[in-house]
Structure 1
Amino acid sequence: MQFLPVLRRGGAPLHLWIGRTYVAGCLVGGAAGLVLAAGSHAGPIASTGFGVGGAAWIATTLLGWRAATQGRLAEHRRWMIRSWALTLAAVTLRLYLPLVAILDLPFIPAYRAISFLAWAPNLLLAEVWLRRRGR
């Protein structure tokens, strides 16, 4: 809903309150992700993948929030598109996990790969979309 122009016009209060809630959720989720990444049973590769994803989620969200508070709205939109792509990592992970079982892949090596594949392609697609849209 946040990407609908009608909700953003003139600093609409609904957009502001949904945005504040989203930022708070991303910060809590990102911090929890960092804590959980450190304890991954799949080893340091998975810890790194999930940790970098969580740190990127926090960073993009904070950069987007800061741009909004400073009135740099075009920059805000770009950062929040990146943040949303990272938010969807939880969905992407849950799409990959059944594939591991369906393809009968060894779980731990696949999970290590998924720790990066859950968020990196999402972020890459967001970047490609932003660059094409910026032309």
Structure 2
Amino acid sequence: EAARLSQSTVQMAADLGSFNNVPTADVADRISAAFRGEYDSLQSLIPNINAARVEQEAMAATGKTNARELTAQEKAAAVLAIVNKDGAAAMGDYAKTADGAANTQKTLTASLEDQQSKLGQTLMPLWQDFLGFLTD
């Protein structure tokens, strides 16, 4: 369930980023900040998100009547519900515009970064062995 939720959140970030021409990682950081109760950066994409609305959404979803009773997990679920609801126009935008220049560049950049990471992980043990050899 956690993996599915994580993938859904990344897809949501990609769609919002595509729709608003903002890098996916930047949107993911904004959503992550909202999970911690920091809504300012996400408000440029989801203007009506704030602490009061998140608490109201969480209380409606959980049936709790006092915001102090809400857990961080319940508030995070409320953030996702608000982003999904208010960002509905953006959902699916990355797939719809994947062939466009901006999203093609995002996809290629992400692929390149992934390949660089894999290459670095492969070469790191060899580099450490080489440094060990030089030290000896």
Q: TM-score, normalised by structure 2?
A: 0.29
Q: Determine which structure has the larger helix proportion and give its number.
A: 1
From the CA coordinates, give the structure whose radius of gyration is larger.
2
